[in-house]
Amino acid sequence: MHTIRTRLRRGALTALAAALAAALATAFALLTAGCSKASETTRTGGCRADGTWSARQKAAWLRGAVSFRTAEGAAASGARMSVVVGAPRSVDARRLCRPLDVQVEFWTLTTTTTTTTATTTTATATRTVSSSVRRRHLTADGGTTRTVGFPGGLPAGREGVCVGVLAAVYAGGPLTGRELPRVTAGPSADVGASVRFVTDRVGAYRLFPPPDPARCAPGRSAVSPSSTGEPGWDPFHP
């Protein structure tokens, strides 16, 4: 009987020692991980980890960091307008640990309206063609502000033709053919086209229709850029 009791006590002590050792090992592992994480935070200076972000997450960050600015008294040609990528307008405004590759791209949207008159009817057709006119690559982490001016020398409209501008900011490399903006012409040159993107990479975009589209409708005089006054843009971005 005494031998059995001794064996039971030894078994209980062995189990207790094993449990205590396991608990100590777990505590040590947690402490080590915590110290490692603290050390990592110290090394990164408290930056925001973005190494595993998806295209949608990068676009969401850009959406809060991008603004489209117009200098007071800017001409309608857009020569004094700019795209600004700076600190994000969000709760977590820390700079990113890994700067994002960002593209700022501009397209012209040329809308042409033609009128065909038959014996008893008149038909009007509208067509909009987009053309990339400038693309600039930069990096952004929210710690610095980058400004990209609108391309100069954009063509002015003429009778029956209107030229608008599309500006977009997106993460990664240049857009592929499948990711390019889809442009739908308006019913006439004096009613702006609509634009949509089919990629998650675009953080912000804005469509700048012609400042005075009625002047470039069929039968109206040619359009030249205005030298004074605020442009009458109708902005849109997601």
pLDDT above 70 coverage of the chain, percent: 57
Q: Of the given ranges (33-42, 43-52, 124-133), which has the lowest mean pLDDT?
A: 33-42
- For the chain, the first-to-last Cα distance in angstroms comes to 82
pLDDT of amino acid 228? 30
Residue 222: count other Cβ atoms within 10 Å of its Cβ: 12
Neighbours of 138 (CB within 10 A): 16
Percent of the chain with pLDDT over 90: 35
Q: Quick check: helix, strand or coil at residue 124?
A: strand
Torsion angle (degrees, nearest 10) of CA 191, 184, 162, 112: -110
- Give the tens place of pLDDT for each residue, 183-233: 887 655 555 668 889 999 999 999 887 766 666 665 554 333 333 333 333
**pLDDT tops 80 at residue 130:** yes
Please list, in sequence order, all residues whose beta carbon lies within 8 angstroms of the beta carbon of residue 86, skipping any fewer than 6 positions away: 65, 67, 142, 144, 145, 146
Q: Is the pLDDT of residue 104 over 50?
A: yes
Is pLDDT above 70 for 181?
yes
Q: The whole model's pTM is what?
A: 0.67
The pLDDT value given to residue 134: 93
Q: CB burial class (10 A; 0-12, 13-18, 19+) of residue 46? A: exposed
